[in-house]
Amino acid sequence: MESNLKTTVLSILGLFLITFIGYAQETYTITLIQNNDGSFHFESSDNATVLNSSSLKEYTILVYEEDEVIWEGLTMNDEEFDIDEINYVRGNKIFQNDKIRGQRGNGDKKEVKAKVKKNKKNVDYTYEIVFTINGNQQSIDPKLKVGER
C-alpha cells in the first residue's frame, strides 16, 4: 500500500515538473538598429521565430503567453539611442497597459520590457515603438503574433 502511494505521488510530481519545464517562460529581445546610412533594421534574439522581416512595418515575431519581450535600440556609430515607449496600435491587447514606458537598464540607454498576458493565444498585435536618437524622436509600428504551445 505504501509503495502504491509513493508511486502515485512521484508520478504526480513528475507530471507537474514536465508540465512546468515544458512551458517555461521565454525572454525575447528585439533590437532596432540604425545603420550607418541612417536606415533601420530589426534583429531578434536567437530564440525568436521571425515570421516576417520584409519591412520594418511588417516585422513580426512569434511569442507566447507569459513570455517577456524586451525592446532595445542600437546605432552603428554609438549615438545615444533610447526606446522611449511601446504603444498599442491595433489588434488584441496582449500587454497589461496600452503604453509601456522605457526604463534605464544596466547601461545608460532606455529599453522597454513587457510580459504577454494569459488567454491571448493566436492573436496579432500591432504596436508603435517610439524611440529617440540624439534628441530626434521617431516611431515605427511592427507586429507581434501570440502563438499556442
Tell me what pLDDT residue 101 has.
96
Tell me what pLDDT residue 79 has.
86
Residue 138 structural domain: 25-146
Give residue-wise pLDDT tens across range 83-105: 999 999 998 889 999 999 999 87
What φ, ψ does residue 121 adopt, rounded to 5°?
-65, 145
Q: In this structure, is residue 114 part of a structural domain?
A: yes
Residue 131 pLDDT greater than 90, yes or no: yes
Q: In this structure, is residue 110 part of a structural domain?
A: yes
Q: What is the mean pLDDT of the chain?
A: 86
Residue 20 pLDDT greater than 50, yes or no: no
Tell me what pLDDT residue 21 has.
45
Predicted confidence band of residue 5 (pLDDT cuts 50, 70, 90): low
Q: In this structure, is residue 96 part of a structural domain?
A: yes
Q: In this structure, is residue 41 part of a structural domain?
A: yes
Tell me what pLDDT residue 148 has.
85
CB 139 within 8 A of CB 130: yes
Rounded to whole angstroms, the Cα distance separating 138 from 84 reads 10
Strand-pair partners of 133: 81, 136
Q: In this structure, is residue 14 part of a structural domain?
A: no
Q: In this structure, is residue 18 part of a structural domain?
A: no
Tell me what pLDDT residue 17 has.
45
Q: What is the CATH classification number for the domain harbouring 34? A: 2.60.40.3910
Cα dihedral sign, 55-132-102-95: negative
Tell me what pLDDT residue 23 has.
56
> Cα separations (Å) of 114 from 5, 12, 52, 73, 148?
43, 33, 21, 16, 19
How many distinct structural domains can be found in the chain? 1
Q: In this structure, is residue 113 part of a structural domain?
A: yes
What φ, ψ does residue 15 adopt, rounded to 5°?
-60, -45
Give residue-wise pLDDT tens across range 29-56: 999 999 999 999 999 999 999 999 999 9
Give the contacts of 90 (CB within 8 A, at least 6 positions apart). Answer: 126
What φ, ψ does residue 76 adopt, rounded to 5°?
-80, -15
Q: In this structure, is residue 34 part of a structural domain?
A: yes
CB 112 within 8 A of CB 71: yes
- Maximal C-alpha separation, the chain: 74
